[in-house]
Amino acid sequence: MRVLVSGGAGYIGSHTVVRLVAAGHDVVVVDSFANAKPTVVGRIEALTGQPLDVHAFDLTDRDKTEHLFAHEPFDAVVHFAGLKAVGESVEKPLEYYENNLGTTFSLVRAMRRHDVRTLVFSSSATVYGADAPVPMTEDLPTSATNPYGWTKVVQEQVLRDVAAADPTWRVALLRYFNPVGAHPSGTMGEDPSDIPNNLMPYIAQVAVGRRDRLQVFGDDYDTPDGTGVRDYIHVEDLAAGHVAALNRLTTTDRPVSTWNLGTGHGTSVLELLHAFERACGHDLPYEIVARRAGDIATSYADPTRAHDELGWHAVHGIDDMCADTWRWQSRNPEGYPDG
């Protein structure tokens, strides 16, 4: 298939592009490079051995989006593009709603106009809100605790309504848990543009000497060691899940399918920290500080549906995730170059 990947130069998008090419798909990328570095394009090309067709613009620009679809035929779209920092979304809610909803509106309008009705959408476990029981299943009601999460809830609903109005659509809603890790080559990984919002890249930056110590937000949760428990999934497993979902959309008769992508196992903050110490070979300084508002004790997936319907399951454990992250961070201590 000829697949358009929005946000294909970003962290998850870049790994998925490599997997899609390896699976035999013809891939085109559109990315604004607001959350990505142009350098990653060359690294994708080096890993795939093929030139990558890249369009650099913001999908909220409807004219440019329409022009792309008018001049290049596509069979499917994998949609990653959007702003993604939870804390920033609280500070800039309007910008998050404008960008995340705007990219989807622009993209789906162009898809509909040019008869492209197969879409894999990058959603999130944030749609389960704060009080969901664990393990979390796809039939739980959706909610959110921050503007970023609400943009995912709303985008899911928009896509359901579009498919209800025209059942020829085939939409996959992929709810990720906590993506971590890096390409095993050490050439691609997560490169936050500022202070990391997520735990793993923060630990990696402490390990490589860019940060003094890790702050652990709370050690009095109802968990085995008192620290928060999350379902960490290797980005390579996540990328494989997108390829499996795209394949499934070609055979299913359901207009909309929802799948959790997680391991089904929880790992605490301290367990992840100690696993990273094993990977990098030295102790990492940390301090316990007050809980963050809105954090919950435990979150992990029930990935049964993805296993049963996609034939997919996570194959990488927490030690693999840390080893690959350390390989990436130690070889790229400042992340991707700006060029």
- Note if 148 is an active site residue: yes
Other C-beta atoms lying within 10 Å of the C-beta of residue 293? 8
Q: Do the Cβ atoms of 299 and 230 come closer than 8 Å?
A: yes
Other C-beta atoms lying within 10 Å of the C-beta of residue 64? 16
- The enclosing H or E element of 324 equals helix 318-331
Q: Is the peptide bond before 135 cis (omega within 30 degrees of 0)?
A: yes
Q: Which two tokens stand for residue 259?
A: 């799948």
Other C-beta atoms lying within 10 Å of the C-beta of residue 186? 16
Q: In the 8-state DSSP scheme, what is residue 2?
A: E
What does the alpha-carbon distance between residue 28 and residue 12 come to, in Å, rounded to a whole number? 15
Overall size of the chain counted in residues: 339
All residues at 6 or more sequence positions from 61 whose CB lies less than 8 Å from its CB, including other chains: 106
Question: Nearest-5° angle of CA 192, CA 120, CA 93?
Answer: 50
Query: Catalytic pick from 11, 128, 148, 232?
Result: 148
| Phi, psi at 248, each rounded to 5° | -65, -35
**Catalytic machinery residues:** 148
